[in-house]
Amino acid sequence: MTDTKQPDSKQDEAVDPNAPITGMDYFMKLEYHELICPVVREFADALMEKRLIGHKCPKCSLIYSPPRGYCPICTVQTTKADEIEMQTRGIVTNYTVVTPVQYYGQEETEPFAKVSLQLDGGGNLSLQDLPGVPVEQVRSGMRVEIVWAPDGERHVDDVTNRSWGSAEGAIRGWKPTGEPDADPSEYSDKVF
Amino acid sequence: MGLTRPPRSPERGVGGGWAPTCGGKPERVLLPSTVPADKRLTTHTIEFPYTRTLGPVYSAFLTGMRDGQILGIKSRDGRVLCPPTEWDPNTGEGLETDFVEVGPGGVVTTWAWVTEPTSKHPVDHPFAFALIKLDGADTALLHAVDAGSMDTMQTGMRVTARWKADRVGHITDVEAFVPEAAK
Amino acid sequence: MVNDIAIVGYAQSPSWRASELTEPQFLFPVISEAIERAGVERREIGFTCAGSCDYLSGQTFAFVMNLEAVGAWPPISESHVEMDGAWALYEAWVRLQHGDIDTALVFGSGKSSPGKPAEIYPLQMDPYTLTPLGADPVSLAALQARAMLDAGKITEREMAEIAARSRKSAIGNPYAQVSGDDDPEALLKEPYVTAPLRRHDLPPISDGACAIVLATADKAKALSKRPVWIRGIDHRIDIHQPGMRDLTESPSTRLAGKKAGVGDAKVDVAELSATFSHQEKLLCEELGLGDDVEINPSGGALAANPVMAVGLARFAEAARQIAEHGKHRVVAHATSGQALQQNLVAVLEGD
């Protein structure tokens, strides 16, 4: 049957059942099923082995993780031959603190940070978490290392063609190493 | 792609399917059961809770539906349009809110027999979509005809509205039209 | 005064029931091939316009991702239509009329396999009276087919013959998804899917892409030995409510065809976006295409239906008829909305 949500006019009717109808709700719900493309599947398989992989553009050397199968800057395709393994330590280059607005579908209630990382040896990841780090302590230049989900709990169910490197089932997040912050000159031209 | 061929009647609501209403031949539908072990199928759902204001014309039309009456609107050349429009379909000029009650009976001008309803259709078993020219209207309304069997359907047949008991101001306050004799 | 614009490069992907690649991934080689065939430098292209549908992809702003297949760095001048790529071509054609740029890239792409088209397309209908009924394209096309049958404008046998001919024409077309040698009599013995439509009357569900490069007259002559000239192009729309139209006619096609100049000279071939079999006959009538015109030598939309690219693919196939098969005057048609609500018609010519 239809999953169209009918206007919730019950309350209005309690006031005046003869009041004109002036609004209409439509609850739009669509479900999609999609195969993960081969390069992202390889990324997901590597996560299960506690490895981070990316594709290095053969022309400009930019590293894309998860791999996309091409470099959009140089418009060249990348393949398995361009695959590299990345280090699991890096620098927070940028961050944002989201204060959740309770719109439909928002499950978060407390402010949380999402950070961008520049990994040692090259490569970037976006939309990463720093669990346990109070949002007011999140800052660019922090040195962090990966926290893998433990064996047996690790999964890649949330890695899709559009998850942009967010893989919370495999990467619990990143934790500060305690080393002194990086100098802005190390990352300021790679802020994204 | 290496996908295996799915069963002939894929489970409804699963997979990338809509297989029953896909042209061509043999079907290759994405179903969790048909995806080889080395592939991964992901599922995601998008939901948007829309709320729309109605404006003077649809407000009157849907208020009428709640009250168990179907309204048409008079066009500039004197025709009665149902469903009512805000603009004259021939000239694009705004219409005065000059409503006329039409139906609840009418004539089927064309119809299609839906053998496998989707989850978005108003009827959950085989039914006809039909254009129905309601008595007193000069244009036809799209709605479902709950006719039981395709053999009952005929262009030119008379149908009438079957109202829901609990009406809220929605096009589906008419649950479906039914053959007039069967009301 | 209208400036001459020509098609100087075109490319398509195959039409897949379900591609494992993402939309930008399968667009990537298509765009590269169109640009290479045109012989232009990617960075010299003056304007880029795309057609795609975010609801089909299931992601807001999915069309932005598709730009990765273009190479949008350094920043390019680009636009997007939430319509078939044929309307992107129209926008680029208008843009080239300004005369300040000499080339444009257009593309259309769609991945229909992840979602359920019958549940997605009702969202493009009137949200008060049609979307809540789940009014889907197959049902609406079936209403149109029934109206044509009742009016004596077509028979179920003719519909089966159109489908059989389309499938036969698609044999050997590397971009086609449905092809084969079918006997119309056998097709007529199949059950109805949505009566009066049988499976052969319906298009396949397809993933795919198409790209075309346009150039102004001087540039086209410099780039190509066989530019394909757009001699006329126009698009028109009929009223949205299906019950307010005579579904057995398509005034918008008739008018667009007239404005594009279809009837001004002999037409050799027509590539029509007849997504349902009966629509081919209706389109031929409204465009005045007689028995001497070859219809859909590619197999048309019944053979491959990459939504958002299928109309632009008619341009690519029409251009192929001129550039590769020596035809002189070819019609390309694209449609949008339900039951041929909106129609775009173009006349292409060789030198």
Q: What tens digit of pLDDT does each residue of A76-124 get? A: 999 999 999 999 999 999 999 999 999 888 889 999 999 999 999 999 9
Burial of A58 (0-12, 13-18, 19+ CB in 10 A): middle
How confident is the model at residue C150, as a pLDDT? Answer: 98
CA distance linking residue C90 with residue C334, whole number of Å: 11
Give the residue carrying structure tokens 């009837």. C263
- Give pLDDT < 70 ranges for chain C: none
How confident is the model at residue A192, as a pLDDT? Answer: 65
Q: Is C64 on the interface with A (CB under 8 A)?
A: no
How confident is the model at residue B89, as a pLDDT? Answer: 86
C-alpha dist (Å) from residue A170 to A50, A123, A129, A149, B132: 8, 18, 12, 5, 56
C71 and C214 assigned to the same domain: yes
Q: Helix (H) and strand (E) counts for chain A?
A: 2, 11
pLDDT-based confidence at residue B19 (cuts at 50, 70, 90): very low
How confident is the model at residue C125, as a pLDDT? Answer: 95
Look at residue A9 and tell me whether its pLDDT is greater than 50: no
C143, C149, C239, C302, best to mutate vs chain B, most B CBs in 10 Å: C143
Q: Between C55, C67, C68, which is nearest A68 by CB?
A: C68
Query: Are residues A28 and B46, on separate chains, in Cβ contact within 8 Å?
Result: yes
CA distance linking residue B167 with residue B173, whole number of Å: 5
What are the chain B neighbours of C58 within 8 Å (beta carbons)?
44, 46
How confident is the model at residue B12, as a pLDDT? Answer: 29
> What is the number of structural domains in chain C?
3
- Could you tell me if B115 and B126 are in contact, meaning their C-beta atoms sit under 8 angstroms apart? yes
- Could you tell me if B112 and B134 are in contact, meaning their C-beta atoms sit under 8 angstroms apart? no
Query: Are residues C127 and B52, on separate chains, in Cβ contact within 8 Å?
Result: yes
Look at residue B24 and tell me whether its pLDDT is greater than 70: no
Q: Is C119 on the interface with A (CB under 8 A)?
A: yes
Look at residue B143 and tell me whether its pLDDT is greater than 80: yes
C100 and C133 assigned to the same domain: no
C-alpha dist (Å) from residue C303 to B22, B86, C164, C179: 12, 40, 10, 6
Please say whether the dihedral angle defined by the alpha carbons of residues A147, A151, A153 and A157, taken in this order, is positive or negative: positive
What are the chain A neighbours of C131 within 8 Å (beta carbons)?
26
How confident is the model at residue B31, as a pLDDT? Answer: 55
Tens digit of each residue's pLDDT (9 = 90 or more) over B25-52: 434 445 555 667 778 888 888 998 989 9
Tens digit of each residue's pLDDT (9 = 90 or more) over A157-172: 889 888 777 788 999 9
CA distance linking residue A99 with residue B124, whole number of Å: 42
How confident is the model at residue B4, as a pLDDT? Answer: 30
Look at residue A13 and tell me whether its pLDDT is greater than 70: no
- Could you tell me if C282 and C257 are in contact, meaning their C-beta atoms sit under 8 angstroms apart? no
- Name the 3-class secondary structure at C9: strand
C130 and C103 assigned to the same domain: no
Tens digit of each residue's pLDDT (9 = 90 or more) over A20-75: 999 999 999 999 989 899 999 999 999 999 999 999 999 999 999 999 999 999 99
What are the chain A neighbours of C119 within 8 Å (beta carbons)?
30
Look at residue A3 and tell me whether its pLDDT is greater than 50: no
Query: Are residues C133 and B109, on separate chains, in Cβ contact within 8 Å?
Result: no
B170, B172, B174, best to mutate vs chain A, most A CBs in 10 Å: B170
Distance from CA of A27 to the nearest CA of C (A): 10
Q: Is C18 on the interface with A (CB under 8 A)?
A: yes
Look at residue B11 and tell me whether its pLDDT is greater than 70: no
Tokens of A23: 């609004």
How confident is the model at residue C33, as a pLDDT? Answer: 97
How confident is the model at residue A72, as a pLDDT? Answer: 94
CA distance linking residue C193 with residue C139, whole number of Å: 10
C73 and C218 assigned to the same domain: yes
Tokens of B34: 């048909």
Query: Are residues C128 and B114, on separate chains, in Cβ contact within 8 Å?
Result: no
CA atoms within 13 A on the CB side of A47: 31
Tokens of C109: 């792409």
Look at residue A190 and tell me whether its pLDDT is greater than 80: no
Percent of chain B with pLDDT over 90: 69
Count Cβ neighbours within 10 Å for each residue of A153-188 and write b for 16 or more, e otherwise.
ebebeebbbbbebbbbbbbbbbebeeeeebeeeebe
Residues 6+ apart with CB under 8 A from C248: C144, C147, C148, C151, C153, C282
How confident is the model at residue B41, as a pLDDT? Answer: 86
Asked which of B5-9, B55-59, C176-180, C312-316 is least confident by mean pLDDT, the reply is B5-9
C76 and C215 assigned to the same domain: yes
**Can you give the residue range of the structural domain that contains C257?**
229-349
**pTM of the entire predicted model:** 0.92
Count Cβ neighbours within 10 Å for each residue of C312-343 and write b for 16 or more, e otherwise.
bbbbbbbbbbbbeeebebbbbbbbbbbbbbbb
Task: Give the CATH number for residue C90.
Answer: 3.40.47.10
Query: Are residues A75 and C127, on separate chains, in Cβ contact within 8 Å?
Result: no
C105 and C216 assigned to the same domain: yes
C21 and C169 assigned to the same domain: no
Query: Are residues A20 and B60, on separate chains, in Cβ contact within 8 Å?
Result: yes
How confident is the model at residue A1, as a pLDDT? Answer: 40
CA distance linking residue C291 with residue C297, whole number of Å: 14
How confident is the model at residue B18, as a pLDDT? Answer: 35
> Domain locations in chain B?
55-182
C-alpha dist (Å) from residue C85 to A100, C2, C22, C53: 38, 22, 18, 10
How do strand C269-271 and strand C329-336 relate by DSSP bridges?
Answer: parallel
How confident is the model at residue B33, as a pLDDT? Answer: 58
Angle between helices C85-97 and C310-323 (to 10 degrees): 60
C262 and C131 assigned to the same domain: no
**What is the overall mean pLDDT for chain B?**
84
Q: Is A58 on the interface with C (CB under 8 A)?
A: no
C101 and C132 assigned to the same domain: no
